Amino acid sequence: MSNSPLFQPFTLRDLLLPNRIVLAPMTRSRAGTARIPNQLMAEYYVQRSSAGLLITEAATISEEANGWNESPGIYTDEMTDGWKLITKAVHDKGSVIFLQLWHMGRASHSSFHNGKLAVAPSAIKINEEFIHTPTGKQPCEVPRALHTSEIPRVVSDYQQAAERAKAAGFDGVEVHGANGYLVDEFLQSKTNHRSDRYGGSIENRYRFLKEVVEAVVTVWPADRVGVRLSPNGAFNDMGSPDYREQFTFVASQLDQFGLSYLHVIDGLEFGFHKLGEPMMLAEFRKVFHGPLIGNCGYTLETAEKAITDGYADLIAFGRPFISNPDLVERFRNGWALAPVGPMSDWYAPTGEKGYTDYSRHH
């Protein structure tokens, strides 16, 4: 399979990647209650370091951004030091690694914040039965709408997290603008009912993401900053009738920054809002001229086709990488993929079980 387009090197702005396979960011909840990255996590990333680009699981930018049990953060010195273990281990393998920056917005719960409500663009509850919290399953809560005067503070949290990512030795950062978390909540009309300059029009709903990217590119050159979007996603009760206009506009605006890449969850394996035809990479290619990463449900064959057809430059794989740390070698050699283990192991603080205990192909 070595003549496959997936194994051609790719120049990601100023970074030479050995192949076009990306480790997708996946929450794995192995950072402990203190949210400090650790040696076990370093082992996990090293096992998957043959990917051309590694994107870490989402790292919260502040205490306020938390909302997932035992996920890592990037807002204290201890966390920054923990990530240094990981970047050094991955760089020792000659690999490239970006940190994903995360604020969970309304997809959080007061039990993560000493009783204070989660924040969001608007006070609109997730229409789902429950959320996993440090005290077990809890009903979803109505979040508190951020005051206009607070938004610069949140933007500053992204900037400080970007600075810590640089101090921790990462090669770049990805702004998590997908899957119903804070940035996505600002972008979408379903979750953004604001009447200030951050709401109403498509342009105003983009303003928060624009300010976050502007802040992050004061720390990193734009060609080391990526953004992730999920135009088709229903996760966390998302999906807006004007999604096509919104995400076409967002991609066209982001194109002006000269970003490292735009990472689009175009596949439907993670859920689809069914509000129209799904937005595929070909639409994004028309308005975004930098590197494009496709993601979600790709197989070797569909990944090769997306690259051959010119719609994607790189393809991110998530679930196949969970149980196949040597996914790149398996694809290259035509070896069968190991089945993904039970979902109960994916996000569970089970230590190495279902995390680093998958064997390589023999």
Q: Which of 75, 181, 311, 358 is catalytic?
A: 181
pLDDT the model gives residue 125:
98
DSSP bridge partners of 60: 73, 102
Task: State percent of the chain over pLDDT 70.
Answer: 98
Residue 124 pLDDT more than 80?
yes
Q: 5-346 in CATH: which number?
A: 3.20.20.70
Residue 154 pLDDT more than 90?
yes
Domain ranges within the chain, ordered by starting residue: 5-346
Give per-residue pLDDT as tens, 260-309. Answer: 999 999 999 989 999 999 999 999 999 999 999 999 999 999 999 999 99
Q: Which whole number is the average pLDDT over 103-107?
A: 98
Q: Which of 51, 298, 7, 317 is nearest to 171 (CA)?
A: 51
Q: Which of 320, 265, 345, 268 is nearest to 28 (CA)?
A: 345
pLDDT the model gives residue 360:
82
Report the alpha-carbon distance of residue 181 to residue 157 in Å, rounded. 15
Report the alpha-carbon distance of residue 102 to residue 99 in Å, rounded. 10
pLDDT the model gives residue 344:
74
Cβ-based neighbour number of residue 113 at 10 Å? 16
Write the single-letter amino acid at 164.
Answer: R
Q: Give me 1's structure tokens.
A: 């399979």
Report the alpha-carbon distance of residue 229 to residue 183 in Å, rounded. 9
* Higher local confidence (pLDDT), 342 or 186: 186
Question: Is 181 an annotated catalytic residue?
Answer: yes
Give per-residue pLDDT as tens, 139-151. Answer: 999 999 999 999 9
Report the alpha-carbon distance of residue 176 to residue 63 in Å, rounded. 16
Residue 1 pLDDT more than 60?
no
Task: State percent of the chain over pLDDT 90.
Answer: 91
